[in-house]
Structures are given as structure tokens and as C-alpha cells.
Chains A and B, each alone.
Chain A
Amino acid sequence: MPTRRLILKTGLATIAMPAVLRSQGAGAQGLSGQITLMSYTGIFQDNYTKAVVEPFLAANPGVKVNYAPGGTSAQMVGSVRAQKADPQIDVVIMDVTTSSIGNIEGLFEKLTLAEFPVLDELLPEARAAGGEFGPAVTFDHLVLVYDTQNLKPPLTKLADLWRPDLKGQIAVSAPPNIQGLALTAMVEKMEGGDYRKSIDAAMKKLKELAPSINTFEPNPDGYSLILNGVVKVATGWNARSQLYGDQSSGKIGTLLPPEGSVFQINTINLTAGSKNRAAAAAFVKYALSQQAQKAFTERMFYAPVNAKAQIDPKAVARTAAAPESRANMIPVDWNDILKVRDQWNNRWRREVIAAAR
């Protein structure tokens, strides 16, 4: 499936292209009623509401957007699946690994260029992420999160995880969590391998890491465990880590490992059979517009998907769109990984987690 393969490494180069600023999606004629947007809760909801939902509401005073926190991506696709006969959710933003399930099951609509001209402004890999369905709306990547105050010397590379002073100080989200899947691919690459062929090297190396791992299931998340002093290092997502870093006055440090990282993609999806399709489609258009992409990237450091969005270089530097980030990305096709997820999951349980008991 070459169209679905997300070779983001080269594609993001186009991001610096000057864009023509124009209002998109906003102010469409005669829109009214209510739509329900489902996505992550917590700081994602707070920031997405401020940066995207509220401006959309200002431009469309007749529309009301109900933001429904949906839990994990899998729970969100589950909600849509359960309501297939009578959809209550109009737009969903979730991880590409689960939206692809919804696409196959016919839960979401295909989006046409004729109706959504904004698709033409998107990076090729953003459109490829959804195929004919809803495209990527944010890019993020896996980082190492660490305690800048209590970790001396600071973390500089992925291989530092194996430092003896980190014994019992690491929180890792094991598979089936996608952080664990991403980490597996990263460690395999660090060991000179390729996850598409084998993860034997990664398993061997991770098994050595096992005694250093405090928890394989950080709750509520790795950032909080570092802030509470439970661990010193965790795996995490760049955008959230950047934001927590700002909120904690620098206690949380974010490291993009020089050995490489993996993109995480959120797609925006229009529910098949939406009861207020016009307003829902308008919201999707707005979410992908230059204006919304700029606002959200500058607020929460997710890399933009709209190639024409003109974003503050300081914000870009902290996202996956920054040149030094792009250079380090491992090309990953999440659909390939999904197929081996159960197998990786089992190997983690038997080889890595078992070694840490």
C-alpha cells in the first residue's frame, strides 16, 4: 500500500513554503445547530478548545460545538462503533492506528477534494495518513522525558537509558500502548536493525533495561510520575512534554533522541451518517486550515499538517517539523506495526516484563 505509507522524512520539507493567508472554512453561510467533537481529555482538550474550537465558534455563531472527552483512541473508535446505527458524534480526532480501523469498518466518510479544497494545502504525508478518508490533523513524535532538576548529568541520547544510575528510575509504556511499539522500533534502529525485518536486537537490549524500569504502565502518565518524584525518566510525546516543561518551569526536560524517533499521527474524521453534516464538514475544513493549524502549533507544539500555515519559527523549532527533528525520524508505517502488534506485545511480556519481576 504505497499510498498509505507515511514517509514523513522528506515530506515535511515543504513546510517552510510561504503560504497565502486567507480565511478558510470560517463564516460559511447558514450553518446552525450542534455538533459533537470527540477527542482526548486534559491539556489537549483545554488547548484545542482555546486554539481551534473557540475561533470556529466565533466565525460560525449559529453553531454549537460539544467537546466530548473520549478516553483513549481505542475507546473513541469503540464509541463510534457502538453508535453506528445512530451516530451521536460528528467529528473525531484520534490516533491513526485506530482511525484506520474505523475507516475499514465504514464508520467514517471519505473526503473529496471537491468538497474539501483545503486537502490540497496539506503535506502529502498528511493526506496519505488517511488515504481517501480523514487526513492527519497533528504530527507528534516520541521523546524521552526527564527530570532536569534531579538527573545529573542530563539525558543526551536513547542509549543513556541503560545508565546504571537510572536503575528503578524509568517509566515506560509497554505495548500494546503505541509508545511501547514506537520505542521498540527506535531501539531496534539504535542497535543497527530494522523493525520490519526483526526486533530480536531490540528485545535483547530491552531485556537488559528491564531491571531499570519502575513501571511498564505509568499512571496517569510519565510526566506526572516525574513531577511527583516517582521516576526520573519516562517515554512521552513531544507536544505534551513541551507544554509540561513550560508549566513546570523547566523541571520537565524533553529529549529527541539522536538515535531517531517515530511520528505519532492524529487524524480528523467525519462520522458517516452525521446528523449535522454541514456543520461537521465546516469544522473539519477549519481544523485543517492555515489559521487553525498555526494557532494550535504555536499553542501546543504539535507539528502542523497544512503546508501553507505560517508559523512562528520558535514554535516550529519545538515541534516535529523542525529540521533537526525531521532528520532523526524513522520512517514507520503504523499499519505494518498494527499487524505485528500482538506478536510484539507477547514478546514484551515474555522477554522484557518477565525479566523485570
Chain B
Amino acid sequence: MTASARLPLLLIPAALFVLAIYAWPTLLLMRNAFNEVGPTGAMVEAWSLKTAADTFADGFTFELTLNSIWLSLSATAIALALSYPLSLFLFRTDSRWKGLLAVIAIMPMLISSVVRVFGWLAILGDRGLVNGLLQSLGLISAPLKLVFNWTGVTIGLAESIMPYMILALLAGFGQLDRTLEEASRSLGASPFRTFMRVTLPLSLPAIALAAGLGFVLSMSAYITPKLLGGGRVFVLATEIFEQATTNTNWPVAAVLAIYTLVLLLALLALSNVVAKGLKR
């Protein structure tokens, strides 16, 4: 055997590991999707598509899908708008605090999401920081509803995916070189034109990477929608969680989980096609 022919053998342990920790549970999950649920919630072992058919016949599933996509798009857009300049600064700064600044930027990742959510409650609540400030300035008379609704979930979710997006951006900025911007300036392009013609196009791969990651993380996030949504925000992830842990309805949870997975793969494939089209 040649060295290159032996190479695949080296992948066997890793493949077995992935199979054991990922593929097997996924198969078990898929199995549940074919079970049925009795009138009081007891699971009936079966090989049937009835659960799936009922789930997709329910208009609420479609509503959840739109909600999930819309929430993920808006959270990703906000997070990108905030993390792009931040990452660009971190990527370029020569400050000796660079390391510390980077750690601060990704710090939220190290904090339990529950703690983070309570932080947001203190900031966005009726008697929170934002409302307190606006009221003391006399700008509003009654508190704005910033939490326990879509606004709160969007803000909280954007914040929770930012560290991951910052890391993705920093990793993707490889092609970005200060000298290229200087070359652009020396050729007569203003700082703004330089950003539009050089910096932005060269960071597109990083932006695509970060946005894809942010979108996937948003689609699968359930803690933030659950804790900041005040029971008003229904997305696929919260519905899966609810069906599995409150209704004991594993078959519906499994159907929705597989549906979400397929949806994500389809959306990623679509974005890939679009990205390739843009490149041309």
C-alpha cells in the first residue's frame, strides 16, 4: 500500500468517534419522528408518517419557520453591523492591549447564557437602565417594551452570537493587508472609497463566514428566545424544546428537529450558490 492509499485508514478512529457521538443519536432522533402520540401524550411505537403529516399540515409550523428565519436574519444583521467594525479594529490595532481587547470582545462567550440574559433584563426591563435613562431625560413618559418580546430576543440574540462572529471575522480577514489600503490611498482613493473598493471586497469571505455562522447559531438558539421572549416569541428551536420537555411529545419534537436541520442545510446550500454567483 502506498502512503496515500493508507491515509483513509487514519480517518477510521475519527469517523467512528463522530458516528458514536453524532450519527447514532441523530438516528435515534429520526426513529422517534416515525412514532405516534396518544391522546394524553403517551408515545406509541410505530413506523408511520402521521406525526410528520400532522405537523406540516399545521399552519403554525410555517409560521414558526418564518419567525425563525426572520429572527435569525435580523439578529445576524445587527450582530454583523456591530462586530465588523470591532473586528476590523481588533485586526489592525497595534495597541499593546490588543490581546486584552480581544478577550473582552469574546468574553460573553465565557459567561453562562442565563446570567447574560439576566443582565439584559437589568438593562432592557421596564425599570432597567435604558428606560430609566430615557425617562430621566424626559424623552418618554411610559417605559418602552424592550424585553419579553421580539425586540428583546433580537437584541439578546445578536449579542450572544457576536463573539462567535468576531472570531469568524478575525479568522477570515487573512487577505486583508494594510498595505493594500495604503496603495489605494496613494492611487487617489479617499478613505471611504478605499473601504468600498478594497477593504470591503477583501473582507467579503470573512463576512460570509461570520454571517453563516451567526445565522446557524441564531436558528438553533432557544435559551435567549425562551428567557427574553416572555412567552411571546415562537421559533422552531423553542417549539422543539417545548414539545420535548413540557409536552413529552418526542415524535413532534423529532419531526421539527429534522425539519430544522434540513432547512438549515438547504439555506446554507442556497447561500453558497448565491455567494458563488456574486463572486463571478
Q: Is there direct touching of A and B in the complex, by C-beta distance under 8 Å?
A: yes
**Which residues of A are at the interface with B, using a C-beta cutoff of 8 A?**
71-72, 74-75, 77-78, 81, 97-98, 100-101, 104-105, 168, 173-174, 176-177, 214-217, 219, 229-230, 335, 338-339, 341-342, 346, 349, 353, 356-357
In the complex where A101-B42, A339-B40 touch, is A78 in contact with B245 (Cβ < 8 A)?
Answer: yes
Interface size class of B (residues with CB under 8 A): 20 to 34
Q: Are A78 and B232 in contact (CB under 8 A)?
A: no
Q: A214 touching B230 by the CB < 8 A rule?
A: yes
Q: A75-B245, A215-B148, A339-B40 are in contact. List 9 more A-B contacts (CB 8 A).
A: A72-B246, A101-B40, A101-B41, A105-B42, A214-B148, A216-B232, A230-B125, A341-B41, A356-B232
Known: A217-B229, A219-B227, A357-B232. A72 touches B245 (CB 8 A): yes
Contacts of B242 in A (CB 8 A): 176
Listed residue (A72, A97, A101, A177) with the most chain B CB atoms within 10 angstroms of its CB: A101
**Is there an interface contact between B127 and A338, defined as CB atoms closer than 8 Å?**
no
Mind listing 18 A-B residue pairs with CB under 8 Å? A74-B246, A74-B247, A74-B248, A98-B248, A100-B42, A101-B41, A101-B42, A101-B248, A105-B42, A168-B126, A214-B148, A215-B148, A215-B230, A335-B40, A338-B39, A338-B40, A346-B60, A353-B231
Among residues of A, the one whose C-beta sits closest to the C-beta of B145 is A168
Does more than half of chain B's interface fall in helix, strand or loop, or is it mixed? loop
B121 on interface, CB distance cutoff 8 Å = yes
Q: Is B173 an interface residue (CB 8 A)?
A: no
Q: Check A74 against B121 for contact (C-beta < 8 Å).
A: no
Residue of B nearest to A106 (CB): B42
Contact among B39, B40, B42, B126 for A214, CB-based, below 8 A:
B126
Tell me which residues across on chain A come within 8 A of B227, comparing CB atoms: 217, 219
A100 touching B40 by the CB < 8 A rule? yes
Q: Decide if A174 touches B231 in the complex (CB within 8 Å).
A: yes
Interface residues of B in 115-138 (CB under 8 A from A): 117, 121, 125-127
Question: Once the chains are docked, how many angstroms separate the CA of A174 from the CA of B148?
Answer: 13
Known: A219-B226, A346-B60, A357-B149. A230 touches B41 (CB 8 A): no
B residues 196-222 near A (Cβ < 8 Å) are none
Q: Is the interface of A mostly helix, strand, loop or mixed?
A: helix
Q: How many A-B contacts at CB < 8 Å in the complex?
A: 78
6 smallest beta-carbon distances between A and B, as pairs: A216-B231, A217-B231, A215-B230, A104-B42, A338-B40, A74-B248
Bound-state CA distance A216–B143 (Å) is 19
Closest A residue to B122 by beta carbon equals A228
Q: Does B277 count as interface, using CB distance less than 8 angstroms? A: no
Task: With both chains docked as a complex, state the minimum distance between the C-beta of A345 and any C-beta of chain B, in angstroms.
Answer: 8
Q: Chain B 20-64, CB within 8 Å of chain A: the 1/0 string?
A: 000000000000000000111111000000000000000010000
**Nearest opposing residue in chain A for B45, CB measure:** A105
Knowing A72-B246, A78-B250, say if A338 contacts B60 (CB, 8 Å): no
CA distance in complex: A199, B75 (Å): 37
**How far is the CB of B29 from the nearest CB of chain A, in Å?**
11
Find chain A residues with CB under 8 A from B121 CB: 230
B230 touches A71 (CB 8 A): no
A105, B60: Cα distance in complex, Å: 28
CA gap between A214 and B43 in the complex, in Å: 35
The complex places the Cα of A93 from the Cα of B246 at a distance, in Å, of: 16
**CA–CA, A71 to B125, complex, Å?**
27
Chain B residues closer than 8 Å to A71, beta-carbon distance:
245
B234 within 8 A of A: yes
Nearest chain-B residue to A104 (Cβ)? B42
Closest residue on chain A to residue B242 by CB atoms: A176
**Does B244 interact with chain A (Cβ within 8 Å)?**
yes
CB-defined contacts of B42 to chain A, threshold 8 Å = 100-101, 104-105
CA distance A214 to B42 in the complex (A): 33
Contacts of B127 in A (CB 8 A): 229
